[in-house]
A and B are shown apart, each in its own frame.
Chain A
Amino acid sequence: MKSFGKVTAVDDVSFDVQAGEIFAFLGPNGAGKTTTIKMLTTLLRPTSGSLELDGLDPATHQTEVRRRFGVVFQDPSLDSELTAWENMDIHGVLYHVPRQVRRERCEALLRMFELWERRDDLVKTFSGGMKRRLEIARGLLHTPKVLFLDEPTLGLDPQSRNQMWTHVRRLNQSEHVTVFLTTHYMDEADRVADRIAVIDHGRIVATGSSAELKAQTGTDSLEAAFLALTGTTIRDESASAADQMRQVARVWRR
């Protein structure tokens, strides 16, 4: 559980993710998806309850846990004034990846994500899809056991989305990395995820494979199942400071 003052963002969220699976976390705006990810990635401490990532508690074993995951946040976290290569390289230093390994892995990942030709260009010249690909490549540089993707396809065109998930699925198979993702696009979750959890008002309302969720709600698409589970009311969150900044960012196209 996590409360901010009187507001309880996440309450009674219990789930297990199996090693090596792709796990999708679905929920309307303000349901608590990002808060859950922030707690798992050591950025927030839970008010109560327990967490475990690869057998370790993120609240007490911060450094060891941080070594074990890679994360792509909802908002960009690249340095746009540096080149793609420099972004990768700094990440490698921060995660203590030995120089030789760092170089080889940077090259392999940049090639895989089709960014190798652009490695010496400043990130600010990249398109939205390229930036996302670079962030995922960077998140995988230190061979994490878990990769967190918080709405990674937001604002991308269908081509970029399609290509991105193809990469993620391939990596899930070749590197056996567990993927924990959130998205608003039901078709993505349907296609990519082995298992899905639906969260609403800070609680998990259903867990299972896409087929199980459809069967449980007696619907024929994941979208219909999602609406059956979470209702059709629109969630009007009051805008937070971060939302306001996001609007400014959109204007300035940073």
Chain B
Amino acid sequence: MAVIVVLWLREVKKYLRSRVQIVASLGTPLMYLGVLGFGLGPVFQRAGEGSYLQFMAPGVIGMTVLFTAMFSGIAMLWDRQFGFLKETLVAPVPRLAIMIGRTLGGATVAVLQGTLIFFVTLIAGFRPVSIFAVPLAFLVIALIAVIFSALATAIGSGLKEMQGFQMVMNFLVLPIFFLSGAIYPLEGLPRVLAAFTRVDPLTYGVDGVRGLLTGRTHFGVALDVLVLLSVGVLFVALGAWRFSKIEA
């Protein structure tokens, strides 16, 4: 237990210390909010879908959580060769404790980063329908964070070269984001695209957050949470198993 806490604390401490990184990581979400949010706003309005900013703000929060969580996990490759990970791998503690500590740490950092973006969207003009729904929305955000931290651990455990990092970003992280319905509505999509959106866990995450914050949901929040919980259990198990197989 002490091991999990100390490894979790390490991730959080590092995040809070890296001011420059925090500011830098705000760049992408700000682009999406500012350029897409205001750029596509008029078209969205004319199509009779209401405020685009209101629609996409939950998507941008989801994106931030996804990117942050995935990044911290994939950085494992570096950490294994030149960093602290190897130190933990030879310590007399179960691999499972290390994996859980790291994953929870990464997830916490992702939630913190998501919180920051949530406040940015408020400044940009996003208005949640009810203040009481906000804590619930953050529970869904926490689920998203755990899912993708665990997935990143599963992938990071197997990566052997730095080039693999690019592969994961281009063929996994970006598709997960673009297929999630973060920036477009899920209604009336071509059948193939619709099918892809349904196997993307982030779809349910964004839909859940959007449902709670704006009242607009495609699947219903209950189904979203159910799917997220099941995928979460699956990915944590997968991550733990892959992590236990690391030979440094």
Contact = CB atoms under 8 A, between A and B. Distances in A.
Chain A complexes with chain B: yes
Interface of A: 38, 41-45, 62-64, 66-67, 69, 71, 73, 75-82, 86, 90-91, 93-96, 138, 241-242, 244-246, 248-249, 254
Q: Which of B88, B92, B247 has the most CB of A within 10 A?
A: B92
Interface residues of B, number: 28
B14 A77 contact: no
Contact of B84 (A41, A78, A245): A78
B86 interface: yes
Given A81-B18, A245-B82, 11 more contacts: A43-B247, A77-B84, A77-B85, A79-B10, A79-B83, A81-B14, A90-B6, A90-B7, A91-B91, A93-B6, A94-B6
A94 B248 CA distance: 18
A67 B13 CA distance: 27
A202 to B, nearest CB: 18
Given A244-B161, A244-B162, A77 B247 contact: no
B192 interface: no
Contacts, number: 82
A56 B86 CA distance: 22
B162 A81 contact: no
Interface of B, secondary structure class, is: helix
A222 B121 CA distance: 69
B81 A94 contact: no
Interface in B1-33: 2-3, 6-7, 10, 13-14, 17-18
Contacts of B86: 43, 73, 75, 77
A73 B7 CA distance: 21
A43 B89 contact: yes
Q: Which of B7, B14, B91 has the most CB of A within 10 A?
A: B91
B13 A82 contact: yes
Contacts of A78: 83-84, 87
B160 interface: yes
Nearest to B248: A43
19 contacts: A38-B248, A41-B90, A44-B248, A63-B93, A66-B92, A67-B92, A76-B83, A77-B86, A77-B87, A78-B84, A79-B84, A81-B14, A82-B14, A91-B87, A93-B3, A94-B3, A95-B92, A244-B162, A245-B78
Interface string B87-120: 1111111000000000000000000000000000
Interface of B: 2-3, 6-7, 10, 13-14, 17-18, 78, 81-93, 160-162, 247-248
B243 to A, nearest CB: 14
A44 B90 CA distance: 11
Contacts of A66: 90-92
B93 A75 contact: no
A93 B4 CA distance: 10
Contacts of B17: 81
User: Sorted from nearest, which 9 A-B pairs have the closest CB atoms?
Assistant: A94-B91, A66-B92, A79-B84, A77-B87, A67-B92, A93-B6, A77-B86, A81-B14, A43-B248
A66 B98 CA distance: 15
Contacts of A71: 90
A64 B85 CA distance: 20
A41 B18 CA distance: 33
A77 B17 CA distance: 20
Nearest to B17: A81
A184 to B, nearest CB: 20
Given A75-B82, A77-B87, A254-B82, A245 B162 contact: yes
B93 A94 contact: yes
B13 A42 contact: no
Contact of B90 (A42, A64, A75): A42
A242 B81 contact: yes
A22 B92 CA distance: 24
A42 B92 CA distance: 10
A193 B159 CA distance: 38
A6 B37 CA distance: 55
A96 B88 CA distance: 13
Contacts of B6: 90, 93-94
Given A38-B248, A43-B247, A94 B162 contact: no
